[in-house]
Amino acid sequence: MEVFTSLMVIGLISALLWLLHLRNTRHLPPGPFSLPLIGNLLQINNKAPFTSFVEFSKIYGPVMTLHLGWQRTVVLVGYDAVKEALVDQADDFTGRAPVPFLHRATRGFGLGISNGDRWRQLRRFSLTTLRDFGMGRKGMEEWIQEESQHLRACVRSFKAEPFDPSILLSRTVSNVVCCLVFGQRFTYEDKHFLNLLATIAEFVRFNSSPIGMLYNLFPRLMEILPGKQHKVFANIEMIREFVRMKIKEHEDTLHPGSPRDFIDCFLTRMHQEKDNPSTEFHYENLQATVLNLFVAGTETTSSTIRYALSVLIKYPHIQEKMQEEIDSVIGKHRSPSMEDRKSLPFSDAVIHEVQRFLDMVPFSLPHYTLKNISFRGYTIPKGTVIFPLLHSVLKEDKHWATPWSFNPQHFLDHNGNFKKNPAFLPFSAGKRACVGESLARMELFIFIVALLQDFTFSCSEGPDSINLMPEYGGFANVPRRYRIIATPR
């Protein structure tokens, strides 16, 4: 009886707190009825939650309110709503949500999930510094071309035998980021480097899994319960230790007038502002920002290239047409350059369609209201998580002729020339768009074209065995892994 009474009291208190939580919400966007404590979680597909959000929008419109546990969330669906928020009202939507999993990994520091003056200082510095070291310019292009030679040599070593390209592509892409951030590349046989890349892959996969999503919804509970989350965080410490080691090496060999990379530039700025009590250029922000760049710059781009190879195996006629175009423009005896892109409209269209169809980060990184804001006649209170649903933009039938089919014609006009589409937002939009967008675009083009110069890709089970649906559909759409065959041309 006492247990029953206690449960009744807890239930009544929870209901009361929930009602208090929902008070003054009459100016919020509409949304489905939610339950105390769990909100709308029982109504959401935990394997692909973004699909549930799209279904809700058919009832409640392109701007709607959901509750994910206790967290009030406003979801923006479709290009018009996302663009209006992130671009037209950019200042109102620059806040970044304190995603518990990312907050734990970075301890709240760094560029990725910071806000206010910290974010502005770090973003301005990061963009300027990365550009100074060639991001989006000729110098970076040469680094990528050099790395493509290492990639092709390694692929050639498999001698047309099946192999899993996942770790190889991670090594390749990560080395480009390492040149920018650490001023060095690592050999493909470096075991410590391989362990770090495996940890990064595990981090992304876990954060996209149902358990990872539960951690983001109920972090305090998940800290108490046993589970894989504890192992993942322990492994993240290994990456943090690697970053600490690299920073220490840079401190010991720093020449302020001759910066070698991002870390040198940050250390120099730290020294310049050491007497400024409000500076954001301190050790914790350096470590976390390097961690942001290292992790984000590795897994997303390498997964996209891996997915592109799966697409080309699935549709060999597309692969053949790309190779014909590449052969006619570049040939087989020089590395592709970004200058070639305008002469390779079909190849460029395929690469864009790979990004659209993969829909790598369907929710984008969630935004956050740092104050009460007005949007489309609604009032969104301070402390609300905002999901600009990039999935709904990249698959919106108003902007794409066949949104659920892989179709390079989405990016070609009637004359076969490349055409832009404003709804192509895989890197998000506005002031919180990906800082590495230009680097990622360059890597995708050069690496994919370089591989097709030298190899034809297939798998022993045949094209029909390739499933382009991702393994997980949470934070990130993680492509399935296949053993593929690279036959020299």
What is the DSSP-derived secondary structure letter of residue 434? -
pLDDT-derived band of residue 269, with 50, 70 and 90 as boundaries?
very high
CATH architecture observed for domain 2-488: Orthogonal Bundle (1.10)
Residue 312 confidence (pLDDT) above 50: yes
Residue 17 confidence (pLDDT) above 50: no
pLDDT of residue 398: 95
How far is Cα 184 from Cα 176, in angstroms, rounded to an integer?
Answer: 9
What one-character-per-residue DSSP string does 141-182 give?
HHHHHHHHHHHHHHHHTTTT--B--HHHHHHHHHHHHHHHHT
Residue count of the chain, please give it. 489
Q: Which residue has the tokens 């951690």?
A: 215
Residue 421 confidence (pLDDT) above 90: yes
What are the structural domain ranges in the chain?
2-488
Query: Tens of pLDDT along 276-307?
Result: 988 999 999 999 999 888 888 888 999 999 99
The predicted model gives 374-378 an average pLDDT of 95
pLDDT of residue 138: 58
Residue 74 confidence (pLDDT) above 60: yes
Residue 15 confidence (pLDDT) above 60: no
Residue 14 confidence (pLDDT) above 70: no
Number of CB atoms found within 10 A of residue 181's CB: 24
- Residue 241 vs residue 5, higher pLDDT: 241
Number of CB atoms found within 10 A of residue 206's CB: 22
Checking DSSP bridges between strand 71-77 and strand 378-380, what pairing results, if any?
Answer: unpaired
Between 15-19, 263-267, 411-415, 427-431, the lowest mean confidence (pLDDT) is in 15-19
pLDDT of residue 102: 87
Q: 94: number of CA atoms within 13 Å, CB side?
A: 13
Binding site for heme: which residues?
434
pLDDT-derived band of residue 22, with 50, 70 and 90 as boundaries?
low
pLDDT of residue 20: 47
pLDDT of residue 13: 47
Residue 134 confidence (pLDDT) above 90: no
Residue 75 confidence (pLDDT) above 90: yes
The predicted model gives 313-340 an average pLDDT of 96
Residue 250 confidence (pLDDT) above 70: yes
- Residue 205 vs residue 246, higher pLDDT: 246
What is the pTM assigned to this prediction? 0.91
The predicted model gives 12-17 an average pLDDT of 46
pLDDT-derived band of residue 366, with 50, 70 and 90 as boundaries?
very high
pLDDT-derived band of residue 26, with 50, 70 and 90 as boundaries?
low
Query: Tens of pLDDT along 35-70?
Result: 988 999 999 988 888 999 999 999 999 999 999 998
pLDDT of residue 25: 58
- Residue 223 vs residue 323, higher pLDDT: 323
Structure-token pair, residue 138: 């000729």
- Calculate helix-pair angle for 166-181, 138-156, nearest 10 degrees: 150
* DSSP reduced 3-state for 477: strand
Binding site: which residues?
434
Number of CB atoms found within 10 A of residue 17's CB: 13
pLDDT of residue 19: 47
Query: Tens of pLDDT along 136-189?
Result: 555 788 889 999 999 999 999 999 999 999 999 999 999 999 988 998 899 998
The predicted model gives 373-396 an average pLDDT of 96
Output the average pLDDT for the chain: 90
Residue 442 confidence (pLDDT) above 50: yes
How far is Cα 37 from Cα 427, in angstroms, rounded to an integer?
Answer: 33
| Residue 224 burial class via C-beta count within 10 angstroms: exposed 0-12, middle 13-18, buried 19 and up | exposed
**Contact of 390 with 432, CB cutoff 8 Å:** no
**Contact of 150 with 471, CB cutoff 8 Å:** no
Query: Tens of pLDDT along 175-201?
Result: 999 988 998 899 998 888 888 888 888
How far is Cα 219 from Cα 229, in angstroms, rounded to an integer?
Answer: 10
**Contact of 93 with 406, CB cutoff 8 Å:** no
The predicted model gives 378-388 an average pLDDT of 96
Residue 6 confidence (pLDDT) above 50: no
Residue type, 127: L
In 35-111, which residue ranges form alpha helices assigned H by DSSP? 49-60, 79-83, 100-106
pLDDT of residue 199: 86
**Contact of 52 with 43, CB cutoff 8 Å:** yes
Q: Give the angle 401-405-409 at the CA atoms, nearest 5°.
A: 50
How far is Cα 137 from Cα 341, in angstroms, rounded to an integer?
Answer: 14
- Calculate helix-pair angle for 283-314, 437-454, nearest 10 degrees: 40
